[in-house]
Structure 1
Amino acid sequence: MDKLRIGIIGLGWFGEIHAETIMGVPNLELAALCTRTEDRLTALGEKFGVEKLYRDYHDMLADPEIDAVSICTMWDQHTEPAIAALKAGKHVFLEKPIASTVEDANKIIAASKGAKGILFIGHIVRFNPRYRMAKQAIAEGRIGKVVALSSRRNIPAAWTPTILNKIGPIVGDAIHDTDIMLWLTGDKIVSAYAQTVDVRGLKHPDIGQTMFRFAGGATATLETVWCMPTQTPFDIDERMSIIGTEGIIHVQDTFPPLGIVDANKLHSPDITYWPMFDGVRGGALREEFNYFTSCALSGSTPKIGVPEDAAAALQATLAAEESARTGNVVRIG
C-alpha cells in the first residue's frame, strides 16, 4: 500500500482544517467524511469532492476501503469513536486532548494495545520547528540540566466565546506547553497549582495561570489568556523560555514574523501551524499528517504523539484545573 485512505470524524472548524491539510499530503487520500449535521456534511463533501458521507461513524468504520480516521470531535467525545476505530483495525489520528478524563485516556490506550492500526495523538506543537530545535539542543547537552521553564500562549477574545463554553484555557491550550515541557525535560510532573480569572462570565474562565513542579526539581509557569483585546494585531502570542544550568533557550512564535497592513489594521497571521497556500494547509499540521502517514504505511510505532505522553499532559492540566477550583496544590502520584 502506498496511499492511506482516511476519513474524518467530526467536521467543526478544526475538522475542516484537517481536511484542507490532508488534501496536500501526497500519500493521503481524503476518502470519507462524518458528522451528524447533514447540511455541513453535504457542504464539505462538495467542497472537497468526497462522495462517502456518513452521519454515523460506525458506518464509516464498517467500510473496508477506509484505512484510517482522523477524530476531531470535542474532547469529551473522543473515547467511543477512538476505541471503535481501533477495534475496527483502522489507524487513528486522535486530536488532543486525548480525552476529557484520565480514566477515558487509559481506556483508549488499552484499546490500542495489540490493535492492527496505530494510535497517534495530535499534539501539534511537537512539529513546530522551533520546539524541535530546542529539544535537539537540550538532548545535545548544550544548556545543561533544565531547572526552570515558562510559557505564554495567549489569543484574542474574538476566538474564544464558543470554545470557552466547551473547554477551559488550561486543558484547552496550556496542555500544549505542558506536553512540550514534559518532552523537553523527559521528566514527570509531581504537583500543580493554578489560579483562574473569569472575565466574561462564560462556562469556563478566560485566564489560567499554572505552576508545575517536576520530579527532578525543575519548576514551570504557564500563562494562558483567552481574552486579549480584539484589536491585538496577531493571532497568537506564543513563547517559551527554558533555563538550564549552563544556558538558556527562548522560543518565540508570535508577532512580528509576518506583518500585513490593510485598511483595517496590522495583521500577523499564523505562518507556523496551518498556514493556507492556494487552498491547501501547510506548516506543522501537514508535517504531523506526513509523520502519521509514514508510520501507518510502514507499520512503525510512532515515537511522537505517543498516547502515554498525551495522558500525562492531560493528567497534569486536569490537576491544575482542580487546583484552581480548590485553591490547593494538587499532588500527582
Structure 2
Amino acid sequence: MMNDKVRLGVIGTGRFGRLHLKVLSRLPEVRIAALSDTDRGALEEAGAQFGISSHNLYDDPLMLIMDPDIDAVDIVSDESSHGPLILSALRNGKHVIVEKPLCVMEPQAREIAQASRDSGKLVLVGQISRFGQPYRMIKRAVDEGRLGKVAAIRAKRNFSRSWFEAFGNRIHPVYESGIHEIDLVVWYANSRCTEVSAFERKAAGYRYPDVFSALLAFENGIVASIDSSWLLPRGAPRNLVENLELDGTIDAEIEVIGEAGTARYQLAHPGFNIWTSEETLYPDAMLWPLEEEERVGGAIAAELTHFVHSILAGRPSSVMPLEESVQAIRIADAIVRSAAQNRTIQLEEE
C-alpha cells in the first residue's frame, strides 16, 4: 500500500463487476490499478469507462494477479473460478475481495482458509446481506438477547424465472442464491451446523434444480429452514429497477424466532412502491440504490468500504469472518449431497 491507498485489480467486468467498479472508483482510499476479463470487448469498455490504461487491461486474470503494482484483487467472475483465483492471489501475496460464494467445493474452502493463514493475507467474502441495515438490526437483536434464546430460523429467497437461463446449466443455485440464506442462518445461529436434510426439483428442465428446500440442525439446538426457487413470473412486482441492469424480482424473507420475541425482514415489500399504468414496482432501497450524483449507496457500498478499510488496517473483517464463509460452503455442499442421495448428512466436527 502506498499513500494510504489500496492498489486494486478487479477481475470480471460484467454486470456485477461494473457495479463494484462504480463503488470502488468513488472511494478515496482506492486506486483501481488494473482490470481483467476474458471478454476483450467488455474489458476495453470498462477500461474506457473507468479510465484504466490499455497497458493495465488483462485478458488473463493470472497476469493481473502477478502484477507487482497491485496490493489486492477483487474477484467478480463466474462462481467456479473463485477458488482457483483466490488461491493464486494469496500465493502471489495479494489480499482478496471476492463476490459470493467463496468457492464451490468444501475442500477448496478449507484450502483457502489455510492459504490465508499461511500468507497473512485477508480473504473478504461479499455476503452483501450482512451489510444491509435490516439484517444487521436483526443480528443486534439476537446478540443483545432481545429475542431470548433463539429456537428457529426460517429463510426463503425466490427469483425471477427468466434469470435462471443464465444459471440453470452453469451452477447449482445453492451457491448462486441459496448461499445468502445459508450465510444469514450461520450468522444468526452462531453455532456449528450438525445435520442437513434437503430436497430439490427441476421444474424447468435445466441441469441444476430451480427449487430446493433444506432443513439444518445446529449444535445449540436451533433448527433452520431454507427455501429457494427461480420461478417468479414476469408479472411479479419488480424491485431491481436501478443500477444492476436487471429487470425482475428478488423475493427474500427471513424470520428469527426466539423464546421472547421474533424478528422478521422481507426484501420485496410495498412499503415503498411506484404504480404506473403499465406496472407496479417495489424499488429496493437497501442493496445498491442510486444516491446523489449517480453514486451507488446501500449495502454494496458499505461492504466494499469496510473491506478496503480492513485491508488498509491489515485486520480480518469483524463482520464477515472467513471461517464463517467456510462453514457456509460446507453446508452448501451438504445440501447438494443430501438432495442427490436422498438422505440426511451428518456434519462431523473437524
After superposition, the C-alpha distances for 1:193-230 in whole angstroms (9 at most, x for unaligned) are 11112121112111111111111221111111111011
- 1:115 counterpart residue number: 119
The runs of 5 or more residues in structure 2 that have no matched partner are 239-248
Distance change (3 Å), C-alpha of 1:262 and 1:32: farther
Q: Find out whether 1:218 has 2:225 as its counterpart.
A: no
- 1:160 counterpart residue number: 164
The 5 A counterparts of 1:1-333 are 1-51=3-53, 52-234=56-238, 235-277=249-291, 278-333=293-348
Alignment identity in percent?
Answer: 31
User: Offset at 1:137?
Assistant: 1.1
Corresponding residue SS for 1:208:
strand
Corresponding residue SS for 1:254:
coil
User: Offset at 1:150?
Assistant: 0.3
User: Offset at 1:157?
Assistant: 1.0
- Please give the alpha-carbon distance, in whole angstroms, between the structure 2 residues aligned to 1:200 and 1:107: 35
Distance change (3 Å), C-alpha of 1:280 and 1:31: farther
Retained in 2: the 8 A contact 1:25–1:289? no
After superposition, the C-alpha distances for 1:12-69 in whole angstroms (9 at most, x for unaligned) are 3222221122123232222211011111111111122211211112221232222211
Alignment: residue pair count: 333
Retained in 2: the 8 A contact 1:189–1:213? yes
**TM-score normalised to structure 1 length:** 0.95
Retained in 2: the 8 A contact 1:34–1:53? yes
Amino acid at match of 2:16: F
- Please give the alpha-carbon distance, in whole angstroms, between the structure 1 residues aligned to 2:22 and 2:261: 40
User: Offset at 1:296?
Assistant: 0.9
Corresponding residue SS for 1:46:
helix
Amino acid at match of 2:200: T
Corresponding residue SS for 1:305:
coil
Retained in 1: the 8 A contact 2:167–2:173? no
- Please give the alpha-carbon distance, in whole angstroms, between the structure 1 residues aligned to 2:168 and 2:30: 33
Amino acid at match of 1:46: A
The runs of 5 or more residues in structure 1 that have no matched partner are none
Higher mean C-alpha displacement, 163-172 vs 244-253:
163-172
User: Offset at 1:116?
Assistant: 4.4
- Please give the alpha-carbon distance, in whole angstroms, between the structure 1 residues aligned to 2:219 and 2:120: 35
